[in-house]
Copies of this chain bind each other. A is one copy, B any other.
Amino acid sequence: MYDLLKGLRIVEGASFIAAPLCGLTFVQLGADVIRFDPIGGGPDFRRWPLAPSGLSFYWEGLNKGKRSIALNLAVPEGRELAIALATVPGQNAGCFVTNYPAGGFLAHERLCRRREDLITVRVTGSSDGRNALDYTVNCAAGYPQMTGPADDDRPVNHVLPAWDIAAGLTAAVSLLAALHRRNATGRGSEIQVPLSNVAFATLSTLGNIGEVMTSGRDRERYGNALYGSFGRDFITADRRRIMIVAITKRQWTGLVEALQLSGEISSLQQRVGADFLADESARFVHRAPLFALVEQAVGGRRFDDLADLFDHHGVCWGEYQTVKQALDRDSRISATNPMFVHTAHPSGETYLAAGFPGIFSGTERSPLRCAPRLGANTDEILAEELGLSGHEIGRLHDAGVVA
């Protein structure tokens, strides 16, 4: 975690991945993020994977470093406290992150009656107002048809909730941009980030829309091969699987030299009339004979030898690892990487947790804080943020409005 946004206060009323990831990003950059949840936890409180204690690794991964207040949102007094929190006064407050319905008790226009310059960032499902989650947007955006073995035409959902992640980060960018404007003009913002917009905009960004509208055809499925250049997975003599990519000239030259393939590549170039160095797309067009050459060269060498060769020649490659293999042997996902710290979590387990993935040179990372227990900060938040007396807080507890 870093202290770049120190002093900034964000209120989060959210569940699942996207909106909580937005809040987490602010925590990791130094903001004070107050998350409110229903007493007993929201719909994401028991999401798998679970710890042996029954608490969720998922919840405690997404909520690291936040402060937690638990409210009974089924009663008007609890909802009133959520509204009061989201609209607390002060130049560094008034930023609300949520995935609650746009028309409910946390509607922006209702909150604005309390604080006119409020910034609300709301992650929603579909741009047409319909219910949607990452998986029901992903299937509509064409990726499952492009993903998976080329010899199998069943669509493949990728397991990474990529649209949630992109939406959460888009929400964070939006909030910071809105804050930039508010600091300059005093004006608040209401922002919606529909998952479907995030997915469909990506098809525009990466050229898929132009490709399909112009050709009138969908892109084929190419398995693990990289589209338009050289890249695929290969198996070493000792049965380890590696991914090799050669997009730039240097990567291509490095690969050819490392595997001592210049003779074979020259012959192939003459035979097919292509220049693989000058034209990366020729590496894709003629991938069948190229893959065969690299398959044989990689298959005849052991992993450790290849690793040395590839690193020496600047080849762009990586090994396939399961998460366990990565944790067992990859120093990038270990406490030797300053992003990671071994930490005790509320689930009762101690394991590696990550701070912000970016690295600010010359700025120290402040200690990583684990997720709160649900409601761990209820009393302090009611006192400090809303100015309630101990007597009043006790009454709220007794009435079951807070926990």
A68 within 8 A of B: no
Q: Which of A209-227 contact B (CB under 8 A)?
A: 209-214, 216-219, 223-224, 226-227
A17 within 8 A of B: yes
Complex CA–CA separation, A322 to B215 (angstroms): 14
User: If A155-B320, A162-B162, A327-B212 touch, does A135 touch B231 (CB 8 Å cutoff)?
Assistant: yes
Q: For this complex, into which size category does the number of interface residues on chain A fall? A: 35 or more
Interface code A356-395, partner B: CB below 8 Å = 1, 0 otherwise?
A: 1111111100000000000000000000000000000000
Copies of this chain? 2
> Which residue in B121, B176, B190, B198 is a CB contact (below 8 Å) of A176?
B176
- Residues of B near A130 (CB, < 8 A) are 311
Q: Are B316 and A133 in contact (CB under 8 A)?
A: yes
Q: Are A43 and B247 in contact (CB under 8 A)?
A: yes
A192 within 8 A of B: yes
Interface of chain A, main secondary structure: mixed
Q: Are B204 and A352 in contact (CB under 8 A)?
A: yes
A87 within 8 A of B: no
Q: Which of A199-213 contact B (CB under 8 A)?
A: 200-213
- Residues of B near A208 (CB, < 8 A) are 49, 57, 323
Known A165-B166, A197-B332; 9 more pairs at CB < 8 Å:
A17-B206, A51-B210, A57-B214, A128-B332, A131-B315, A131-B316, A138-B243, A174-B360, A201-B354
